[in-house]
Amino acid sequence: MSHIVDIALDDAGLPPPTPEIEQERKVAIYDLLEENSFVLPPRDARPVPEGPYRLKLSIRDKRLVFDVCTEAGEEAAEFHLSLGPFRQVVKDYFQICKSYFEAVKNLPPSQVETIDMARRGIHDEGSRVLQERLSGKVEIDNDTARRLFTLVCVLHFGG
């Protein structure tokens, strides 16, 4: 029962996403809802509301906010992460994605594959940063971290 069943991005005030970013967002949300692991550990000797959970991601006051509720709407947790540790990896990820999307249109498959491998490497780095920043707040597996990192990038795009 420790998983996400609904996810919302508060992207109010952000510029409209490009078609490529919108596609990345849709795929990440779809994949995340299909399979994820999201475990809230006990904190301050308080009982942890049982999942499944609804997650709302937003950027407030230059911080990444995870607002977690139970499926029934009971508040489960809220945590704020500094965006600082994400800035460079998000910037690198957007640059490599831009190169990748251009390569798909213009380059042979072997060169596209090389750029895609670099893109996946940066994506892995971003998901590791996210897991480190969430340590002690929520336990997530690698696939969940990757998909959440994609959504952090979507939010950061306008942040």
66 Cβ contact partners less than 8 Å away, ≥ 6 residues apart:
55, 56, 57, 77, 78, 79, 80, 81, 134, 137, 138
Task: State both tokens at 19.
Answer: 């078609």
Q: Is the pLDDT of residue 157 over 70?
A: no
Q: Band of the pLDDT at 159, cuts 50, 70, 90?
A: very low
Q: What is the pLDDT of residues 83-97, one digit of tens each?
A: 999 989 999 998 998
pLDDT at 150: 93
Q: Can you tell me which residue has the tokens 């508060």?
A: 10
Q: What is the pLDDT of residues 104-121, one digit of tens each?
A: 899 999 889 999 999 999
Helix, coil or strand: residue 132: helix
Q: Band of the pLDDT at 8, cuts 50, 70, 90?
A: very high
Domain layout of the chain by residue ranges: 4-156
